[in-house]
Amino acid sequence: MTPLDPLIDKHKKSDKRYGTIDMNFSNIYSAPDAAETESDIFSINKNKRDRNLLASPKRERILVKDNTSDRSLTFWDVAPYYMPCFAWIRTYSWSMLFGDLLAGISLASFQIPLALSYATSLAHVEPLCGLYSLVVTPFIYAIFGSVPHMIVGPESALSLVMGQTIEKIMSHNEDLRSVDLAAIITLVAGITLLLAGIFRIGFLGSILSRALLRGFISSVGFVMVINSLISELRLEKVMLESPGHHHTAFEKVIFLFKYGPENYHRATAIVSASCFTILMTIRFVKRRLSRKFKWVVVFPEILLVVVLMIYLSAKFSFKKKYGIAVLGDFNSGSFEGLVNPVSKNNRSLFSILYNVGVVVALLGFFESTTASKSLGGIDNSTVSSNRELIAMGLMNVGASVFGALPAFGGYGRSKINAMSGAKSVVSGVFMGLITFFTIQFLLPTIRYIPTCVLSVITTVVGISLLQEAPADIKFHIVCRGYNELVIFTLTFLTTIFYSVDVGISIGIVYSLLYIVKRSAKSRIQILAKVEGIDHFVNADEYHTYHHTINSTEALNLEHFKDCLVVKIPEPLTFSNTEDLKERLDRLERFGSVNTHPGSRDIRSREAVKYIIIDLKGMTFIDSSAVQILKEIITDYNERNVKVLLTRVPFKNEIRFKLQRSGITDLITKYKIPESLNDIDNVETSTQLGNMVLDSPYFTNVEEAMFAIESSANSNLP
């Protein structure tokens, strides 16, 4: 027996118009939380489609029992969620291993040169910091990562963020080791991501809009090109000896124009120009051929140029004969000399590098989230942002012990990984193994790489980051996305004239202010009836739409002389309820929320005797909003304006707050005739809802309007 059973029996006897309802309502009635409003439960109306849905004997509803709590979860049930490696290990096969091996070789062919380039040209740290990032992080991600095709490693933009900070610190204190600074930044980024995943705040990635990211990425591409150009012309020594500081991209552009033409190194410039021409030509040809031959995408043009330059540099002694700087000897270090980021000497640096680590974590997470969501569509897998946060956090904490650069997922290399035949995260493991082999046995060969070649690789990557900006700018101009253009321009210019971390910080602050502004604006609507149609519409949108399309067929809207019908289609919080008071006042005076507040009143506030508030869509309300709403209703009561609430959500939390705050005692209630035969123009569903629940709220606007008219005609309270 449910609270609905007596009513259903009564309804069957009293109303013969709908036939017999062959349904067991006890199977669908669970609790008020099961539906959002009363009208959602009592959906019997005169509409033929709904009547067939409820009355047809061919339709049957089955009550499904939840049996998930009847059995205890085993280790193998829970393990794949926290350690996704348990999900793919059981189904891994030799055929998958072959595909992952080929993909790992393809990835290593261009990721190793990129890691060297990012470490030396962008991050200003030891080359091994970039290589260790490729070795350590793929192994940890293979255990905790949940996206099969994701490839993690150092990122150009994040390496640049680190490099600008490390460059400033090292210029004032030469006793510090760059590897220690890199370890601290990576550790801070890892801990930040790990805590964010544990406390399930992965939703924060949504505050970074696409326009903000595009502005940041474009500015990073520009900075990468400018920084690399200094190395490609071998002007580092000249820049150190020149007066003044040259930290920002704008200052470096001025330096290049002022000192570049007279001080550039001719041989280094020739090698740089040759490598740049080869890389850009091959990329152009690949782009044209990839339309017919998909395999062309994995052609390793970067590896080709690096191998060619190593051979030429060793054979013709670039350094001795022509004065071209090469990477030179550096200690492999093996895995014996680990870095302690929290050592006594390093602790004092945390306060300086903390902000950079947080910025790196935020940007890296956003880029990884974008990549993971895009890659999830390849195998129709779902991606949990919080689980990815934990995976990214753990792998960066582990990488910090080796002084490695921060590592995150990148869409470009992950897409190449998928196109190369990868089947799982093991392809990243193979890439790490090949990188480890390179560290152990091929460093004597790598030492011959000209540093200008690594800078050219960085330049090519920077140009690729800039190439997507024009299309995005054009799109926002066509769509009149002026706010997106402001965010893009603000982030880009701030990065160029100040620094990367300041640019992204300004962009984030602007985005937050924009979000707060939009969320604090109430979206209250004034409702009116379309002439000849028993349907309420948003009056402002209706007039605006037909005025925009110059429609001559627009029907008139019926407003009510002494009654104001408004709708609150959004959650109410402390941020938007204050604006609700001002907009209600504007509706009373002007009949529209779009009218300028300085306009003349079109009607007196005393003319309004009733206000019907439709709460359909108010899925949440906090205590501050309840307090303000109570003040609004109290003010109306003092002016003898009756307030009626309709379609109040059935959530216990909302109705509990309305009741405990005293709002239900302030709103107007009317007696509704119990006999369905007494009412011809009110739907059966509304009568059924009131008789069952004896609710102080109305199930729709029509019922509230009928109650007002009935009260006026019969002088009922």
Q: In this structure, is residue 563 part of a structural domain?
A: yes
Same-domain check for residues 495 and 616: no
Last residue of a domain, one of 668, 695, 712: 668
Residues lower than pLDDT 70 in the chain: 1-71, 205, 329-337, 373-382, 529-535, 539-559, 591-599, 601-603, 670-695, 712, 714-717
Same-domain check for residues 130 and 276: yes
> For position 596, what pLDDT does the model report?
63
Residue at 280: amino acid letter: M
Last residue of a domain, one of 668, 686, 703: 668
Angstrom CA distances, 237 to 231, 273, 321, 523, stand at 10, 20, 19, 60
> For position 272, what pLDDT does the model report?
96
Last residue of a domain, one of 493, 517, 541: 517
Same-domain check for residues 330 and 427: yes
Number of domains in the chain: 3
Maximum alpha-carbon separation in the chain: 108
Same-domain check for residues 342 and 454: yes
Is residue 699 packed enough to be buried (19+ CB in 10 Å), middle (13-18) or exposed (0-12)?
Answer: buried
Output the CA torsion sign for 442, 445, 450, 451: positive
Residue 546's CATH number: 3.30.750.24
> For position 557, what pLDDT does the model report?
55
Q: In this structure, is residue 382 part of a structural domain?
A: yes
Tell me the DSSP string of 244-295. Answer: S---SHHHHHHHHHHHHHHH--HHHHHHHHHHHHHHHHHHHHHHHHTTT-GG
Q: What are phi and psi of 386, to 5 degrees?
A: -70, -40
Name the 3-class secondary structure at 565: strand
Q: In this structure, is residue 247 part of a structural domain?
A: yes
Name the 3-class secondary structure at 693: helix
Same-domain check for residues 512 and 529: no
Strands 407-409 and 610-614: unpaired
> For position 511, what pLDDT does the model report?
85
> Nearest CA to 587 among 538, 542, 533, 653?
538
> For position 411, what pLDDT does the model report?
72
Same-domain check for residues 494 and 588: no
Q: Are 450 and 325 in contact (CB under 8 A)?
A: yes
CA–CA distance, 187 with 396 (Å, rounded to integer): 6
Q: Are 234 and 260 in contact (CB under 8 A)?
A: no
Residue 321 DSSP symbol: I
Same-domain check for residues 104 and 21: no
Same-domain check for residues 494 and 548: no
Q: What is the pLDDT of residues 371-414, one digit of tens each?
A: 776 666 556 666 778 888 999 999 999 999 999 999 998 877 88
> For position 498, what pLDDT does the model report?
87
Same-domain check for residues 500 and 568: no
> For position 413, what pLDDT does the model report?
84
Q: Are 107 and 397 in contact (CB under 8 A)?
A: no
Same-domain check for residues 327 and 292: yes
Q: In this structure, is residue 447 part of a structural domain?
A: yes
Q: In this structure, is residue 76 part of a structural domain?
A: no
> Nearest CA to 502 among 290, 329, 356?
356
Same-domain check for residues 343 and 487: yes
Q: Domain range holding 607?
A: 525-668
pTM, rounded to two decimals? 0.70
> For position 344, what pLDDT does the model report?
85
Q: In this structure, is residue 709 part of a structural domain?
A: no
Q: In this structure, is residue 32 part of a structural domain?
A: yes
Residue at 588: amino acid letter: E
> For position 303, what pLDDT does the model report?
87
Q: In this structure, is residue 716 part of a structural domain?
A: no
Same-domain check for residues 312 and 332: yes
Residue reference for tokens 């009143």: 601
Q: Are 555 and 542 in contact (CB under 8 A)?
A: no
> Nearest CA to 370 among 601, 476, 539, 214?
214
